[in-house]
Amino acid sequence: MKAVCNHITAIIVAFVLVAFPGCKKEEEPQTSPAPTEAAQTQTGNEVDDQIAAEDTSITDLVSLWDAGKKDEAKEKFLSVDWQDASILKQIRGLSMSEEALISVSNEDRDGIVEETLSLLSSMRKLFSDLASQAERLAATGDTAKAKEYLDAIRRYGISLSGPDHLQVVQMHGKAAVGYAQKKLSEL
């Protein structure tokens, strides 16, 4: 059983190293449209907008991102309260420890690992795009907005960095925190 866990951990570590934002292939910069659809759908009523932000789930973010609604996914990412642990409980792999993963059947474990890796891959792409956008904003002098983006990435990473998460989730979170803090210190 220990050998299986070590094998899974090795696969997870390899995935995180490949998926780290600094290791990605450089893509052509995208220009952001003026206000995003998410910004246009705000009601102007602070209470309604707060409720809409609280209703965002991590699966909603990934679904929007994977469907190509990148600007809407980024806006929702920025509005999420990452200190609210309930957003992470929607995906079993984000809310369980290594010990809990070991205790489930092999079939369930494989499904949990696959779902978690897929989600982390999409989330890495999302926060990596936000980080690129933050760099472009900083280059044009909008450091306040750049800091907002990087701080959201940092808060996201902190929410995943605790010892009560799977190692791959912790590493993903720590990578997000480290990247955001490094870029924030450069502003």
Query: 18 pLDDT band (50/70/90 cuts)?
Result: very low
Query: 86 pLDDT band (50/70/90 cuts)?
Result: confident
Q: How does pLDDT run across 24-63, given as a tens digit for each residue?
A: 433 433 333 333 333 333 434 343 333 344 456 888 889 9
pLDDT value for 6: 55
Please give the backbone phi and psi of residue 101, each rounded to the nearest 5 degrees, phi first: -65, -40
Task: Enter the tokens of residue 53.
Answer: 């932000």
Angstrom distance (rounded) from CA 143 to CA 135: 9
Q: What's the number of domains the chain is made of? A: 1
Q: Is residue 171 part of a domain?
A: yes
Angstrom distance (rounded) from CA 131 to CA 24: 12
DSSP state of 55: T
Q: Is residue 19 part of a domain?
A: no
Q: Is residue 133 part of a domain?
A: yes
Range of the domain at 176: 2-12+56-186
Angstrom distance (rounded) from CA 132 to CA 128: 6
